[in-house]
Amino acid sequence: MSAHCRLTGAEPRFGNNISHSHRRTSRRFDPNVQRKRYWLPSEGRYVRLRLSTKGIRTVDRIGIEAAVARIRARGVRI
């Protein structure tokens, strides 16, 4: 479960490579997942999250406290 974003729920998608002769082979589209550390003031500790780049931008917009609340609402343990 390494290519999953904990905030947005982004996960790998699957599709095809199509060659010049139009042969199709399977491929995988992975989200751009990064490991990021945030200071969580309410708990007085750092949390390490695996977030997609869209998830990182969401945390920047809404704040870490609201982001952690959303993650916990999805049932993910932090």
- Let me know if residue 6 belongs to a domain: no
Q: Predicted confidence band at 2 (pLDDT cuts at 50, 70, 90)?
A: confident
Q: Predicted confidence band at 1 (pLDDT cuts at 50, 70, 90)?
A: low
What CATH number is given to the structural domain containing 46? Answer: 2.30.170.40
17 is in which domain, residue-wise? 13-73
- Let me know if residue 30 belongs to a domain: yes
Please give the tally of structural domains in the chain.
1
- Let me know if residue 1 belongs to a domain: no
- Let me know if residue 56 belongs to a domain: yes
Tell me the pLDDT tens digit for each residue of 16-65. Answer: 999 999 999 999 999 999 999 999 999 999 999 999 999 999 999 999 99
Tell which residue, 56, 33, 67, has the closest CA to residue 78. 67
- Let me know if residue 18 belongs to a domain: yes
- Let me know if residue 26 belongs to a domain: yes
The pTM score is: 0.86
